Amino acid sequence: MAEQTTFRTGINLAFDLPPQYREDPDLVELYDALILELRTEARGIPMNTIQTLLLERIAFYYVALKGAERSGTINPTQIKDMTKFWLDMTSEFNKQLAAGHEKLRESLLRSISDMVMEKLADIQDPEIKKTVILSLKEGFAEMGM
């Protein structure tokens, strides 16, 4: 039986494949890789318990679908239904990620703006200050901000 490598404690105890999937080392590796990738994509975004469990379900249902396909225990209609169910979950996760990334971006930009304004206040020469402000304005515009 293949061993999973994901660290398990607290909420991570939910990240455990049922025994029938642990018998296939490829499915175990796929599950662990999916969890790692999903967590990487969500890095920096505060996630509540439900979002963390949704991440696990996305990985599990994909592995369950792949396992059923490999064993031939699923027909095309079931594949279609299970794929739609899985895509609905991933769609919700992607919406949450996008919202989280936007909040993170806004927070970062607010922090940068505050720091820039604080440092500009330190510039005593009005001509230098004006030049720096114009340069920053152009730079931010080039970045689409």
Q: What is the DSSP letter of 14?
A: G
- Dist. CA 66–CA 16, nearest whole Å: 17
Alpha helices in the chain (DSSP H): 19-22, 25-41, 49-71, 76-121, 126-142
| Residue appearing with tokens 């404690």 | 9
Domain positions in the chain: 10-142
pLDDT in tens, 19-55: 999 999 999 999 999 999 998 988 877 778 888 899 9
CA 96 to chain centre: 9
Closest to 55 measured CA to CA, from 22, 11, 18? 11
Q: According to the model, what pLDDT value does residue 3 have?
A: 58
pLDDT higher at 49 or 8: 49
Task: Indicate the length of the chain as a whole number.
Answer: 145
pLDDT in tens, 109-125: 788 878 888 888 888 88
Q: Is the pLDDT of residue 57 over 80?
A: yes
Q: According to the model, what pLDDT value does residue 4 have?
A: 52
- Dist. CA 118–CA 28, nearest whole Å: 51
